[in-house]
Amino acid sequence: MNFLILYLGINSGNCALFVDTINIAFDIDVKGFKQRSIDSPNNEIVIRGPHEAFVENLRTNTSLLRRTVNNENLVIENIEVGDISNTKCAVCYMKNIANNDLVAEVKFRLNNLDVDSLLSSGELEQLIR
Protein backbone atom coordinates (compact mmCIF):
# COMPACT_ATOMS: atom_id res chain seq x y z
CA MET A 1 0.00 0.00 0.00
CA ASN A 2 1.54 3.32 -1.07
CA PHE A 3 0.60 5.82 1.63
CA LEU A 4 2.39 8.66 -0.19
CA ILE A 5 -0.12 8.46 -3.06
CA LEU A 6 -3.00 8.47 -0.56
CA TYR A 7 -1.45 11.33 1.38
CA LEU A 8 -0.98 13.46 -1.73
CA GLY A 9 -4.50 12.59 -2.88
CA ILE A 10 -6.06 13.62 0.42
CA ASN A 11 -4.05 16.84 0.36
CA SER A 12 -5.50 17.55 -3.09
CA GLY A 13 -9.08 17.02 -1.95
CA ASN A 14 -9.46 13.33 -2.70
CA CYS A 15 -10.84 10.73 -0.31
CA ALA A 16 -8.97 7.65 0.90
CA LEU A 17 -11.13 4.56 1.33
CA PHE A 18 -9.77 1.74 3.48
CA VAL A 19 -11.46 -1.67 3.51
CA ASP A 20 -11.04 -3.89 6.60
CA THR A 21 -11.05 -7.22 4.82
CA ILE A 22 -8.41 -6.44 2.19
CA ASN A 23 -4.95 -4.94 2.37
CA ILE A 24 -5.66 -2.16 -0.11
CA ALA A 25 -6.83 1.43 -0.05
CA PHE A 26 -8.45 3.51 -2.76
CA ASP A 27 -7.65 7.09 -3.71
CA ILE A 28 -11.03 8.45 -4.82
CA ASP A 29 -11.47 11.77 -6.63
CA VAL A 30 -14.34 13.54 -4.85
CA LYS A 31 -13.16 17.10 -5.34
CA GLY A 32 -15.76 19.77 -5.77
CA PHE A 33 -13.53 22.76 -6.41
CA LYS A 34 -15.20 25.89 -7.69
CA GLN A 35 -14.66 25.96 -11.45
CA ARG A 36 -15.60 29.48 -12.48
CA SER A 37 -12.95 32.14 -12.63
CA ILE A 38 -12.09 34.13 -9.54
CA ASP A 39 -13.53 37.64 -9.63
CA SER A 40 -11.44 40.77 -9.39
CA PRO A 41 -11.85 42.70 -6.15
CA ASN A 42 -14.17 45.70 -6.22
CA ASN A 43 -12.47 47.56 -3.37
CA GLU A 44 -8.79 46.95 -4.23
CA ILE A 45 -7.34 47.97 -7.58
CA VAL A 46 -4.28 46.06 -8.76
CA ILE A 47 -2.07 47.56 -11.46
CA ARG A 48 0.52 44.77 -11.65
CA GLY A 49 0.16 41.16 -10.66
CA PRO A 50 -2.81 38.80 -10.70
CA HIS A 51 -6.29 40.29 -10.71
CA GLU A 52 -7.72 37.65 -8.41
CA ALA A 53 -9.28 38.00 -4.99
CA PHE A 54 -11.11 36.05 -2.36
CA VAL A 55 -14.59 37.42 -2.95
CA GLU A 56 -16.56 34.19 -2.51
CA ASN A 57 -17.78 32.49 0.66
CA LEU A 58 -15.17 31.17 3.09
CA ARG A 59 -15.49 27.53 2.03
CA THR A 60 -14.94 28.42 -1.64
CA ASN A 61 -12.03 30.72 -0.80
CA THR A 62 -10.24 28.11 1.29
CA SER A 63 -10.91 25.54 -1.42
CA LEU A 64 -9.29 27.85 -3.99
CA LEU A 65 -6.35 28.40 -1.66
CA ARG A 66 -5.92 24.65 -1.09
CA ARG A 67 -6.04 24.03 -4.85
CA THR A 68 -3.43 26.73 -5.51
CA VAL A 69 -1.12 25.81 -2.63
CA ASN A 70 -1.14 22.02 -2.80
CA ASN A 71 1.26 21.49 0.08
CA GLU A 72 0.96 19.50 3.30
CA ASN A 73 2.37 22.47 5.24
CA LEU A 74 -0.67 24.64 4.45
CA VAL A 75 -2.78 24.87 7.60
CA ILE A 76 -6.34 26.22 7.53
CA GLU A 77 -7.92 26.67 10.96
CA ASN A 78 -11.53 27.83 11.18
CA ILE A 79 -12.62 30.29 13.87
CA GLU A 80 -16.01 31.90 14.48
CA VAL A 81 -16.14 35.60 15.39
CA GLY A 82 -19.09 37.55 16.76
CA ASP A 83 -21.36 36.58 19.64
CA ILE A 84 -24.48 36.95 17.48
CA SER A 85 -23.31 36.59 13.88
CA ASN A 86 -20.84 33.71 14.45
CA THR A 87 -19.01 34.82 11.31
CA LYS A 88 -16.72 32.12 10.00
CA CYS A 89 -13.08 33.14 9.56
CA ALA A 90 -9.99 31.13 8.68
CA VAL A 91 -6.41 31.46 9.85
CA CYS A 92 -4.26 30.19 6.98
CA TYR A 93 -0.52 29.74 7.18
CA MET A 94 2.39 27.56 6.11
CA LYS A 95 3.44 25.66 9.25
CA ASN A 96 7.02 25.27 8.01
CA ILE A 97 7.41 29.01 7.39
CA ALA A 98 5.11 30.93 9.75
CA ASN A 99 6.34 32.26 13.07
CA ASN A 100 4.54 30.13 15.68
CA ASP A 101 4.31 33.02 18.15
CA LEU A 102 2.70 35.24 15.51
CA VAL A 103 0.19 32.54 14.55
CA ALA A 104 -0.67 32.04 18.23
CA GLU A 105 -1.12 35.80 18.69
CA VAL A 106 -3.47 36.06 15.69
CA LYS A 107 -5.57 33.13 16.95
CA PHE A 108 -5.60 34.62 20.47
CA ARG A 109 -6.83 37.98 19.17
CA LEU A 110 -9.52 36.37 17.02
CA ASN A 111 -10.74 34.13 19.83
CA ASN A 112 -10.89 37.04 22.28
CA LEU A 113 -12.74 39.60 20.17
CA ASP A 114 -15.73 41.01 22.04
CA VAL A 115 -18.13 41.90 19.21
CA ASP A 116 -21.73 41.02 18.43
CA SER A 117 -21.19 40.74 14.69
CA LEU A 118 -18.50 40.92 12.06
CA LEU A 119 -19.57 42.11 8.63
CA SER A 120 -16.38 42.71 6.65
CA SER A 121 -12.70 41.87 6.44
CA GLY A 122 -11.90 45.56 6.86
CA GLU A 123 -13.75 45.58 10.17
CA LEU A 124 -11.82 42.49 11.26
CA GLU A 125 -8.54 44.14 10.31
CA GLN A 126 -9.32 47.10 12.57
CA LEU A 127 -10.39 44.88 15.47
CA ILE A 128 -7.26 42.72 15.60
CA ARG A 129 -4.71 45.53 15.37
Nearest partner of 79 among 57, 120, 108, 105, judged by Cα: 108
The whole-angstrom separation of Cα 80 and Cα 98 is 22
Where b means 16+ CB within 10 Å and e means fewer, 12-46 reads eebeeeeeeeeeebebeeeeeeeeeebeeeeeeee
pLDDT at 35 over 60: no
pLDDT at 108 over 90: yes
**pLDDT tens readout for residues 71-99:** 999 999 999 998 888 888 999 999 999 99
Quick one: average pLDDT of 105-129? 91
Assign 37 a pLDDT band (cuts: 50, 70, 90).
Answer: low
pLDDT at 109: 94
Exposed, middle or buried by CB within 10 Å (0-12, 13-18, 19+), for 118?
Answer: buried
The whole-angstrom separation of Cα 18 and Cα 52 is 38
